Structure 1
Amino acid sequence: MADGPKVLVAGASGFAGALAARLVDRHPWFALGPVTSRSDVGTRLDALYPHHRVTRELEELDLDRHAADVGAAIVAYPHGASAPVVRELRERGVKVVDLSADFRLKDQAVYEQWYVEHPAPELLPEAVYGLPELHREELRGASLVACPGCFPTAAILALAPLSGRIEDVVIDAKTGISGAGRAATARTHFVSVDENVTPYGVGHHRHMPEIDQEVDAQRPVTFTPHLVPLDQGELVSCYAITDEALSQDELRGLYEARYGGERFVELVDRPPGVRQVRETNFCAIQVHADPRTGKAMVFAAIDNLWKGTASQALQCLNLMFGRPEDEGLLG
C-alpha cells in the first residue's frame, strides 16, 4: 500500500492529465488523490480512457477541500488557466508540477510576448525547469516545477552536450497528433492527417523561446515542427554548426560524457524511431558528425505524452520528494 502523500491531478480528462493519473495510481509510494476536470465532471476516468484503467470519478476542482488532503499536485491546464490554480495550491503549501507553459520561461516579458499577460509572475523565481538531466539538483526539494514542453524536451536533450559550442542550429521536428491535446485532436479529421506530413507554427512556434533559454547557442534556434500521421511519438533532427568541426569520435565522446550515467537517455548507434521509446520515459539519441558539411547531426526520439509530458512530471515529482528518480517509471 502506498504510504507517500496523495497527489491531486487537475485536468485529468486531457491526454497528459489522464496518463499522469495512471502513473501516480500505479506508483509504489505516492497515492492518487482527487482527479478533476473542467469538462467531464461525474465521468469515470476509465470511461474516457479505458486503457489507463483508472476507475476514479472526475470531480470539479474544489481547492478548499482538495488541497487540504494532498501533498502534491500535477496541474494539466492550458497556459494562462494554469497559473491561478498553481498560485492557490502554493498558498496552501501544496507542491506542484505544472504541465503548462506558465512557469517555463524565466523572463516574464518573453512569456507575455509569446503567450498572455502572466497571471502569477510572483511565482516565476520559485519555479524550476523540470528537465532532470539538466536541473536535477534544483529539482531536489523544489516546491514548484515547470514541466517542459514535449518538443523542448527532445530538442534540449539532443543539444545539451553541445551547449556553448553551437553557432547555429536547425531543428526539424515530427510529432503525432496527440501533441495538440485532446480537444484539438478531436477536431482533426483523419483524412487530413493520414498519408500526409504538414509543417506548422513556421517561424513563430511557442516552444522556440523555451529551447533558446535552455540551449546556449550564439543565434536563436531555427525550429519547425511537422504533423505526421501517428497518434503519439516525436522525433527531432538537429543540424548544428559548432565553433569547430567535430569528428565522430569527438562528438560521440561529448554525448557519452554527458549522458553516460543517465537512466533515461539512451545513446544508440542508429537513428532512432519513435516506436523504440513508445510508452516509456526514455529519450533515444544518435549522433553523426558529417565530414562533408562539418555539421553535427543529432537525432532524438521520445514519446511526447510520456517523457515529453506525464512520465517526466512523475520523474520530477520523485526528485521533489527525495524518492528514487526512476521509481514507478520502469514497470
Structure 2
Amino acid sequence: MKVAIVGASGYAGGELVRLLLHHSAAEVTCVTSRKLAGTPLDQIHPQLKGFTDLKFTNPETDAIDADVAFLAVPHTVAMTYAGKLLSRGIKVVDLSADYRLPKEVFEKVYGVPHTDFFKAPYGIPEIHRKDCLNAKFVSNPGCFPTGATLAAAPLAQLAHTVIFDSKTGVSGAGDNPSATTHYPNVGDNVGPYKWTSHRHLAEMKQELAFLGSKANVYFTPHLVPVNRGILTTAHILLNEPLEQKEVEKLYRDFYKNEYFVRYQKPILAAVRGSNFCDVMVESEGTRVVAISAIDNLVKGASGQAIQNMNLMCGYKENDGLTGAGLLP
C-alpha cells in the first residue's frame, strides 16, 4: 500500500515515517514540502538516516500517487487538498482541524471561512470506531482532546461539570521556533496559556456531548519543559457520589477491549514514543479525579492517524504501533 505524507517536514510528518517503517503493508512513497523539494528527508529528520532514501517533492495534488494520504499541513490548508484527493479514490487521514468540527463551529473557533466542508468521522477509535471502519476520510483529533476525552469518557454521562487541566510538552507547538518555545522561557517554568479560550475546547465539548454528557466543560493548558507528552487532569463533578470501586469498575469495563488504553498510573515517560494512553482515577464521592498521559506526537497525532488508517484499510488496528514507551 503506497502512502503519501503531505506536509512531511514537521514533527508529525517525521513521526508518521518513523512509525510506518514498522507497518506490515504500508510503504511511504511520497513526502511533500513546498520549501524543501529535492532535499533528502533525513536532512530534516536525521533520526531516519539509513531507514529511507526519500526526498521531499512538491507535486500538484492531482499528481500524488498513493493509496492513502496523510495531511500533516496547517489548519485551513488541508481543505485545499482533501476533496481533490478523495475524488481520485485516495483515502485520507487529516491531522489538521479542518474537519473536526461542524462548519459553523469551525468558522467561529478558527475565524476563517471553510471553503470545502463535508462531514467526517472524528478519529478517536475508542469512541468512534464504527465510523472509522472502512471510511474514505477520517479527521484525526487534536492532541489535547484525545487525552481529555479518554480521561473523562466513562463518567461523561454522570457529570454536571468537567474541568480539564493539561500539561503539555513543547513539541505540541510545532517545529517553528518562537518566543513561547524559546528555552529560557520554557526551562524551569510552567506556563499557562489561553486560560479559557483554547481552540481545542470545542472538540472536548463536542466529544463529551456525543457521549451523552450535559456537563459544563472547561479547559486550561500549561506548557512544561519536556519535549513530548500531555498529562491531563480531569476534575469530574458528579451528579451523585460514587465510591472508588464503582468508578474503577466503570473505567476498567469501558476500556477492557481497548489495546491502546491502559488502566495504570499515568507517567509521561511510560507512554513517550508510543500510541498508548494510560489513565487512572481516584474518587472522593461527588468529585472524581481522572488523569491521563499520552505522547502528543503519537496517540495525540501521528500514531492515532495510523490507527485510523488501519481501521479504514482493513489492517489490524495496532499494526505498526506495538512499540512500548521510552521509560526512563
**TM exceeding 0.5:** yes
SS across alignment from 1:130? coil
Aligned pair partner of 1:299 in 291, 304, 315: 291
CA distance in 1, matches of 2:121, 2:177: 28
Task: Quote the Cα distance in structure 1 between the aligned partners of 2:126 and 2:146.
Answer: 10
The one-letter amino acid of 1:232's match is R
Identify the match of residue 310 of structure 2 among 309, 314, 318.
Answer: 318
Q: CA deviation at 1:189?
A: 1.4
* 1:102 equivalent in alignment to 2:103: no
The amino acid that maps onto 2:220 is: T
Determine helix, strand or coil for the equivalent of 2:273. Answer: coil
Moved more, 180-189 or 145-154: 180-189
Residue 280 of structure 2 is aligned to residue 286 of structure 1: yes
Find the counterpart in structure 2 of residue 58 from structure 1. Answer: 56
Residue pair 2:160, 2:216 contacting (<8 A) in 1 also: no
- Hey, what's the Cα distance between the residues in 1 that align with 2:148 and 2:8? 26
2:170 is matched with which residue: 158, 172, 177?
177
Per the alignment, residue 330 of structure 1 pairs with 322
- State the alpha-carbon separation in 2 of the partners of residues 65 and 83 from structure 1: 17
**Residues 62 and 84 of structure 2 are in contact (CA less than 8 Å); yes or no, is this contact kept in structure 1?**
no
SS in 2 for 1:136: helix
Q: Name the counterpart of 2:326.
A: none
Q: Is residue 173–residue 181 contact of structure 2 (8 Å, CA) maintained in 1?
A: no
Residues 176 and 185 of structure 1: CA distance in aligned 2, closer, same or farther (over 3 Å) = farther
Whether the 8 Å contact between 1:265 and 1:284 is mirrored in structure 2 is yes
Give runs of aligned pairs for residues 113-192 of structure 1, distance below 5 A.
113-115=108-110, 116-121=112-117, 123-124=118-119, 127-184=120-177, 188-192=181-185
CA apart distance, 1:227: 0.3
Residue identity matched to 1:110? V
Matching residue of 2:195: 202
Gaps (5+ residues) in structure 2? 324-328
SS state of the match for residue 232, structure 2? strand
Q: Deviations over 1:36-61 (max 9, x none)?
A: 01222222111111113343111113
SS in 1 for 2:240: coil
> How far is the alpha carbon of 1:119 from its aligned partner?
2.0
Q: Which runs of 5+ in 1 are unaligned?
A: none
Q: Is the 8 A contact 1:19 1:52 kept in 2?
A: no
Q: In 2 relative to 1, CA 61–165 (structure 1 residues): closer, same or farther, beyond 3 Å?
A: farther
**Alignment length (residue pairs):** 317
Query: Aligned to 1:129, what secondary structure does the other structure show?
Result: coil
Cα distance 1:185–1:321, how it changes in 2: closer, same or farther (>3 A)?
farther
Aligned-residue sequence identity (percent) comes to 42
For the 8 Å contact 1:10–1:61, the answer to whether it is kept is no
Give 2:205's aligned residue. 212
Q: Which amino acid letter does the alignment assign opposite residue 179 of structure 1?
A: G
Question: What RMSD, in angstroms, separates the aligned Cα atoms of the two structures?
Answer: 1.4
Letter in 1 for 2:233: S
1:272-294 Cα shifts (integer Å, max 9, x gaps): 12001000000000100024xx2
